[in-house]
Every structure is written in structure tokens, then in C-alpha cells.
Structure 1
Amino acid sequence: MQLPRTPEDPEREPLLGERSSPAARDASPNPLSRHHRRLLLLVCATIVAADFGSALALAPQISIFESLICRRIGDGVDCKSPEVQGELALLTGWKETADQLPGIILALPYGFAADRIGRKPILLLAVAGVVLEDVAIRLVCWWNAALPLRMIWATPVFQIIGGGSQTATAMVYAMITDMVPAEKRASVFYIIAAAILLGEILATPTSAFLMAWSAWLPSLLSILFELLGLFSAAFIPETRPEATQAIKGNQDEEEREDSPISEDNADHGQNYPSKPTYHRWKDTVKRYWMHIQGTSVKSWNFNMVYIVCTFLLASIGRQALQLVIPYASKRFSWSIPRASFLVTLKGIINLVTLLFILPPLSTWLSKHASMSPALKDLRIVQGSAWLLTLGTILMSLAAQPPLFTFGLCFLALGWGFYSALRSLATALVLSSQVGVLSSCIGLAQSTGSLIAGPILAAAFRHALRMDGLGMGLPYMMTGGLFFLASCLTCLVRISGARSRP
């Protein structure tokens, strides 16, 4: 189904076409409906509970891994020694890599399933698979005398159920896209990102407090909160557009009417038998492939290449956040609970940025600088990218905690980059191409996370054997990646960027 086209400038139309005016997007008088607010509340509750559980286990899990590695190596070994820390980095790095494989392999099949049976069942399966994986990790650690610790690399197999966290994230954004008006979507993306950060902010000090008794207490409690997230997801209403299903049903009906077998059955007053499940899935894949082939190539220009590549580079850099706790613990001789407060500081700054800095800045750029929605998002993306670059470079050069914390603050100020970049990408394509775009972004992020684990783990292990500035090697590499991402955002060009008075 083709959207209506304007005759003014067909070459520019896919970039900014079929989008409402800046005034409509930024100053829309229509608030979210009661149904939309209920959906957003349930989605946020699910995200906060699940992410709170995940963040609650972050520092305790590192502490448990560290103690088990020390015990395996032998008595009298310093847990901060390069040997122990190198094994810890290797363990967590390859675990991060293994976590990305199910999402990459199963994204497309579960995407098709979500279009046929709905978003909600796939979301529930994805969250359930993540919970089972975390339970398996706890069991491996508990039975460490009989099971090697590296067996946690096999636990992502449970993500076959639902496709893992990447699929869950895709379902959340799909639900928001289904139900929230386009002019409200960017603001809702900021709210979703803020909800994720809220889980981190609440979980980190709670985890540090509980670790004073035992690292196992917050580790096991995290499973309970993840189950609460699963319970909350069960109350989210289905958002799959019925219109899409009606169109598909009409297409199937037309195919049956054109089929000779269908005509023969009609002559005899018989109904055409339903197709086997294999053939129905085959037809679904064929329709999606024809849709992708029929997508307008004009909108997928170099801008889209730059944006997808930016997601790839920034996703690699994003994984460096996982090293904050072990890196600060080693370099500054901090305890793990103390180092975990850096994550809380970052989360607080992120929350303030997403809720109180970026929305007013977005409004100001639109009203006072007369920028179109796409150009406004682009400027926010570019500024955030340079803040990420500056922050990681300062962290790599920091020999004392204050400078490292200062760099982390810059990193936190630029963390709205990911939400703004997603909003920019959505503004540069037609509505009918958002699904294809989301698949490309998801694949880029998964691929970036896949290769980031071993690269950053190897850099961290090498840095442990160095002194001075050499210890900042992981963040030097991260700063280089963010610098390349910043350069790519400067290559994005937007036609007709200024709004008309």
C-alpha cells in the first residue's frame, strides 16, 4: 500500500516526506490518550522491574566470579592480580559475545512470528528466556565445585526461547510504534530510555548495601524482580495493528480466488482447504522479501548507511560501560561496591539529561532556531556524539579518581545519543520502511555487541600488564570508536532542513 505523494519534490520526499510540520510535532495540543498512557505505564513497569533485576546482579555477579576464580587459582592469590582480573575480563567478555548470538540468529524468525501472532507473546517468551538464563548462571556458580565457571558461556542457549533481550527490546519499540502517534514518538523514546536508567539508579546502591552481608543476596533477589517484570508484561495489551492483518487476509483471499484449485472448489461449492503451517510461513517470508525488494531505494541513500554504521560503532563503544566497575576497582584499588556507585552517578546524570535537558533543548531548536524535526535530531546526535568522545578520552587519561569521574559525567551527558539517533533514523524514511530500518539497526547493534566483548576484554587484559597511560587502553579504543561515529554523523545531509515560518 503506497502512501500519498506530494508532487512538489519527489527526490526529497522520502527524506522528510509524509512527516507533519515542526509545529505539529513539537507543539501538538493532543495529549496521549488514556489507552496509550496505560500502555506506556505497563511497558515502563516491565522495563524498570526487569532492568532493576539485571542491574541489581551486575556488581554481585562480578564479585562472585572474582572470588570463584581466586579460589580456583589457589590460596594466597590477590584477587586484584593481573591473572585473576585477566580471567575475569575474558569470562565476562566472551559471555557478552555469546549473549548476542541468539538475537542475531533468531531476530528474523521471531519478527515474523510477532507479525502473525502478536507482539505480546514474543515479549513474554523473550523475558522468560532471559530469566531462565540468569537462573542457569546462578546454578553454575553455586555448583562451582562440579561445574567449570566457563560453562556460563553456554547459558545463552536459553535465549532460544524468545530470542533474548534484543528481541524483547524490539517488541517494546514495536508496541510503542504501533500505538503512539508519530509526533509523540521521540518524547516516548526518551521516557523509555529514562525508565531503563531508573532501574540502574535504584539497583546499584541497593546492590552495594546488600553486598555488605553477602553477594549472593542481591544476586538471588534479582531473579525475583525479573519475574515481576515478566508478570507485568503479561498485562500489556496486544498492539498488533488489525488493519495489517486485514490487508494480509485480503491478499490471501485474492490468491485463493486466482488459484485454479480454488475455482474448481468453488464450482463444487467447496471451501479451499487451509494451507499447511510450512506453506503459510513460506508465503509470509515471500511477502516480506517482495516488500523489501519493492522498497524505494531513493530513501536508502548514504544517510542511512552513515546512520547504520554509526549504530555499529557506537554499540561497540557502549559495551565499555561494562568495564567501569572492574576497571575502577583495579586502577584505583576500590572495592567493587564502591566502584559500582559510578554506575549510579552515570544513571542519575542520564536521567536528568533525558527528562530535563534534551526535551527543552529539542523544543528550543524547533521554535527559536527554526529547525525541522530531522535537523533538530541531527544536531542533538552530533553534540551527544562529541560528548561521548570527550568523556571516554578523559577516562582513558585519568590517573586519579576525580578526572575519571569527570570523564564519566561527560559520557553520561552524551548518553541520549542513542535515543536521538533512533528518532533521526525514523524521521528519514517512509512509514512503510520503519520495520526494515529497525531490523538494520537491531542487526548493527547486535553485531557491535558481538565483536565488542572479545575486543574490549583483550584490551583490558593487555592494559593490566601496563603502567601509566597504558592502563587506559580500553577507553582509548572506545574513544576512537566514538570519534569515528561522530565523524559519520557529520556526513549526514538533510535537504529542506529549515522549517518554514
Structure 2
Amino acid sequence: MHQGRLENEGCPLLPDEDQDQCSNDHGHGTSRKVKSLRDPSPAWIILLWGMFAMSGGTFVVPEFNASLALVCHQRYAPSSSQPNPQTGQLTLMEELELCLGDKNAQADVSRLIVYCQFTAGILSAITAPILGSLSDRIGRKPILALSTTGILLYNVVMLLILRYPDAIDVRWILVGYAIEGLGGTYITAIAASQAYITDLSSPRERATLFSYIQACTSLAQAAGPLIAGILIASINSFEGVYWISFACYLLLTILFIFVLPESRWARSTENPGINLDNPSMTENPLRQVYTSCKSLWESSANRRGNLAILAVIEQFVFGVMTCLPPLQMAYSSYLFHWRPTTQSFYMALVNTWSILVLVVLFPVIMSVVRRQIRRKRNRTHSTVFNTGELGAIRTSLCLQILGYAGVALTRSPEWFIFCSLIFACGNPVTPLLTSSLTAHVPSEHSGHLLGMLSFMHAIGRITIPTALNATYSVTIGVFPQALFVVLAVSVAGLLLSSLCVKSYGLGSSR
């Protein structure tokens, strides 16, 4: 026992890349050899997260269209078509097609989305930090199961409304979103998944393992809408699609509870020095945010300014990515009368192109840029300038401005698709911003930075979708392109603010 402790005396508390052997053999966050399938392993959570992400990506399109169909049925009740001969009335699918271009229905469903996202966002902002701290005490499995249970119960609410659309008001969807928010939504699920990986991996391995999580998410964004289009075309019933969604999340909940090995106990067993009752693990979430802000603010004036500018840009981009897909579907259904299957293939095309840019084109371009910078040997003080990341951020923002402005100026579906592909080229700005932000802080403060960004994401998930959906609902009957004008102007303002990012000395720690 004492011998093991002496062997670990030479290992630093914060190992660097050359000292990973210490973290592989001792201390928390160890890289463990898996003896059997029942042993905890990062492969478990990557597999289950892939299933979780695919379920979420598949049901984005049906969720929006089911809400619009319910609004049409309960508020406007189209009657200009022949009823179903078997039931004597129009199906929800048929009513949806009749009111795709109805500006009042579009405005109503946009307001409903505002209320739903605001409800889920507020509740998840409150519960996510609490559940994150709780996972350190009771383990990752219960938190992951809770997040899927919240979505499962939301599906139950939707099934009831779709089954009895004449008896249950569409506004009961808010109850489903509230339940999902109390479960932490996908924000808690991805945080718990990353914590699971952190428990079982060394610092050297984590970047690769986290990239697998991102790859699963990107694959779900591309393939999910395609699967949704096939399901809608085959079943032709929103209720049938939601039964499949219910089955998927029920299976995930069962797998999280009964199949997934717990990583937290493996970590604490291998490192008995970890105290799960440490007060820092139960610290008030607001206190944690204050501590993170204070530690990040204690730096040079240039770094403070850079962090503020880049963090605001990152928050806005995250908020837009959260709420833009439903707005794209609403806009295309109103202007072009696209059916759910057409919307599904459109979303699959845009997301697939975005992934190709991020995975194939972007790394090649950045490699060429960095090679030219090294050849010129024109090195400034800061890492952000040395690697060309700041220029890439500005280029990505310019592409987003061009795409949004192009959508606002056209009423052609072909040009709408083309301009959507243009602003999708700007999606690499998200990892660029994260990389640039982490380059501004010492490694011992990276946890504070990521905690602060998580808090800003929670706030951005409330404010930005609320503002954009409100804009769309107010202007849909007058100037539907106003949404994309607002986006183009907002991103242009962010581009101008990025010009204020300044270099700083690498050796300066303050």
C-alpha cells in the first residue's frame, strides 16, 4: 500500500502529454484495460450515445410537422378536401398539406415553439448543473437514464395528443417539454456521456474519444432526416412515427439502467483517494459560475477582451444551430409548400454537406494555411493568430452572412437550397471558436472556461431561439424573409466584433 503511494509521488496532479504514463497507472481518469463486456469502457457510451443521437436526429422533422398539423386541426380545421372514406374525416397528414402555406398557422406554431423551447431551456438550465454534480455522487448511469426518461415521457404526451386531437389541446405539448427539461434534455445527456469517458480515459485519449461523440452527432444530423423521410412516406401517420420514437427511447432507458456498466464506481475503486462527499462537488451551480468568471477575468486586458468577444460569438452560433432547423422547415413549408418528406431530404442534404465541409474540406484548407504561415515565419504573439484560426473564423462568418442574405433575397427553392449550402459551409466556426477560446487560457483554467461556456449555452438556448422564433411569427404574414435578414445583420455584427480580437504575449500569464 505504501509502496504504491511512493510510486505515485513523482506524478504531477495535472499531467502533460509527456507524463500520461502516470495517469495511465495511477490517479483518476485512468485508461483501463477491459477484461469483459461487463467492464466499463468508453466504447459502451459511444455506442449508446450514437443510438441516442440518431433517435434525436430522426425525429426533428416529424416533431415540427406534427405540431403544425395539430395547430391546423385545432385552430383552422381545413375542409376543402374530401375526407378519409374510412374515418369520415381528414387525417392529420391531409390537414397538414392543406395549411402548409397558411400564415396564421405558421405564426401560431412558431409561437408554440417559442413557449416550448423557453420552458425546456429554463428548466434544463436549472437542472443540468444540479444533475451534473449529482452524477459525481451517484454515478453516470442514473443521470443518463433520467435524461432519456424525460424524453420518453414527452413522447407519451405527444402520443396522447395525436391519439385524441379533438379532446386534448395542442398546448399540452408544453407539459411534455417541461418534463423533458426537468430531465436535463440532451445537454445533460452529452455532459454525462463526456464525464463517463473522462472517468475511463487518460488525457491523451480524451480528444479522440470526444471526437467519436461528435462524429455520432454529425452522422445523426445527416442520416436522421433521411430516415425520417422514409418513415413518414412509409407509415403516413404521425402517431405511428411517435410510437417508433417511444420504442427507441424506451430501449435506450433500459440499456442505460440494466446494461451500461457504471464508470463512476470503477473510478473511485481504483483511486480510493477520491472523496465523493467533497464540498466542491456539491457547490452551488451559481457559485461555480461566479468562480469560473472570476478566474477567467484575472488575466491581461487583451485576453479578457478576446475571451468576451469569442465567447459571445460562440454563444450566438450555438443558439442559432439549436433553433434554425425548425425555422428552416417552417420557412420552406410556407414559401414552397414542401411536404415533410421533401423537408427531410433537404435537411439531410444540408447536414451531409456541412459534415463533408467539416471533415474533408476544412482540415485540408487549414493545413495549407498553416503551412503557408510557417513558411512565411510571420509569427505574432498569440496562438490564435499563429495557427490561422482567427482568419478561418472570420471566413466562416462571411460565408454565413452570404448564405443568410441569399436566402432573404430569393423566393426560388433551387436558390434556397444553394444558399443553405453556403451558410452550412460556415459550420466549422464552432470547433474553431472552442479551440481559440481554450488557447487564451492556461490549462489549469480550461475547466473554468468550459463550465462558463456550458452556462452560456444554457442561456443561449433560451434567449436566441426565443428571439428568432418571435421574429418569424411576427413577420411571417408581412415579410417572411425578415428572419434571415436579422441573422445576416447579427452575424455581420459578430464579424465586425471579431476585428477587435488582439494578439497578446505567449509568455504572459496575466
Q: TM-score, normalised by structure 2?
A: 0.75
State the percentage of identical aligned residues: 20
Are residues 1:134 and 2:138 paired? no
> What letter is aligned with 2:246?
I
Deviation at 1:473, TM superposition (A): 0.9
Aligned counterpart, 2:458: 446
State whether residues 122 and 181 of structure 2, in contact with CA within 8 Å, keep that contact through their aligned partners in structure 1.
no
**For residues 40-439 of structure 1, what are the structure 2 equivalents within 5 Å?**
41-72=43-74, 73-76=76-79, 78-79=98-99, 80-159=101-180, 161-176=182-197, 189-212=210-233, 213-216=235-238, 217-230=240-253, 233=256, 234-235=259-260, 238=263, 242=268, 249=275, 292=292, 295=295, 297-298=298-299, 301-318=304-321, 319-370=323-374, 374-375=384-385, 376=387, 377-439=389-451
Q: For 1:247 and 1:325, locate their aligned partners in 2 and report how far apart those are by CA, in whole Å.
A: 52
Q: For 1:40 and 1:98, locate their aligned partners in 2 and report how far apart those are by CA, in whole Å.
A: 33
Decide whether aligned partners of structure 1 residues 397 and 230 sit closer, same or farther in structure 2, where only a CA change above 3 A counts.
Answer: farther
Aligned counterpart, 2:501: 492
> What letter is aligned with 1:214?
N
Deviation at 1:179, TM superposition (A): 5.4
Q: For 1:412 and 1:450, locate their aligned partners in 2 and report how far apart those are by CA, in whole Å.
A: 23
Which residue of the other structure, out of 456, 460, 466, is the alignment partner of 2:472? 460
> What letter is aligned with 2:247?
L
Q: For 1:280 and 1:123, locate their aligned partners in 2 and report how far apart those are by CA, in whole Å.
A: 22
> What letter is aligned with 1:312?
Q
Unaligned residue ranges in structure 2 (runs of 5+): 1-10, 19-29, 35-39, 81-97
State whether residues 306 and 489 of structure 1, in contact with CA within 8 Å, keep that contact through their aligned partners in structure 2.
yes
Q: For 1:354 and 1:289, locate their aligned partners in 2 and report how far apart those are by CA, in whole Å.
A: 31
Deviation at 1:323, TM superposition (A): 0.9
Q: Which has the higher contact order (CA 8 A, sep 6+)?
A: 1
Deviation at 1:159, TM superposition (A): 3.3
State whether residues 61 and 215 of structure 1, in contact with CA within 8 Å, keep that contact through their aligned partners in structure 2.
no
State whether residues 53 and 223 of structure 1, in contact with CA within 8 Å, keep that contact through their aligned partners in structure 2.
no
- For residues 323-361 of structure 1, give each alpha carbon's deviation from its aligned partner in whole angstroms, at most 9, with x where no partner exists: 111211111122221122111011111221232223344
Aligned counterpart, 1:483: 492
Q: For 1:459 and 1:286, locate their aligned partners in 2 and report how far apart those are by CA, in whole Å.
A: 31
Decide whether aligned partners of structure 1 residues 341 and 287 sit closer, same or farther in structure 2, where only a CA change above 3 A counts.
Answer: closer
- For residues 392-416 of structure 1, give each alpha carbon's deviation from its aligned partner in whole angstroms, at most 9, with x where no partner exists: 2212222111211111111222212
Decide whether aligned partners of structure 1 residues 96 and 289 sit closer, same or farther in structure 2, where only a CA change above 3 A counts.
Answer: closer
Decide whether aligned partners of structure 1 residues 358 and 180 sit closer, same or farther in structure 2, where only a CA change above 3 A counts.
Answer: farther
Q: For 2:62 and 2:17, locate their aligned partners in 1 and report how far apart those are by CA, in whole Å.
A: 48
Q: For 2:64 and 2:412, locate their aligned partners in 1 and report how far apart those are by CA, in whole Å.
A: 23
- For residues 436-465 of structure 1, give each alpha carbon's deviation from its aligned partner in whole angstroms, at most 9, with x where no partner exists: 222221222222221233322232223321
Decide whether aligned partners of structure 1 residues 184 and 238 sit closer, same or farther in structure 2, where only a CA change above 3 A counts.
Answer: closer
Q: TM-score, normalised by structure 1?
A: 0.76
- For residues 291-321 of structure 1, give each alpha carbon's deviation from its aligned partner in whole angstroms, at most 9, with x where no partner exists: 6588361177222212221123223332223
Q: For 1:198 and 1:293, locate their aligned partners in 2 and report how far apart those are by CA, in whole Å.
A: 34
Query: Secondary structure at the residue paired with 2:295?
Result: coil
> What letter is aligned with 1:140?
I
Query: Secondary structure at the residue paired with 2:162?
Result: helix
> What letter is aligned with 1:235?
L
- For residues 170-228 of structure 1, give each alpha carbon's deviation from its aligned partner in whole angstroms, at most 9, with x where no partner exists: 22344455556656655655543332121132222222222223232323212333344
Unaligned residue ranges in structure 1 (runs of 5+): 6-16, 22-31, 253-278
State whether residues 103 and 334 of structure 2, in contact with CA within 8 Å, keep that contact through their aligned partners in structure 1.
no
- For residues 251-291 of structure 1, give each alpha carbon's deviation from its aligned partner in whole angstroms, at most 9, with x where no partner exists: 97xxxxxxxxxxxxxxxxxxxxxxxxxx8976787996896
Q: For 1:120 and 1:367, locate their aligned partners in 2 and report how far apart those are by CA, in whole Å.
A: 45
Query: Secondary structure at the residue paired with 1:369?
Result: helix
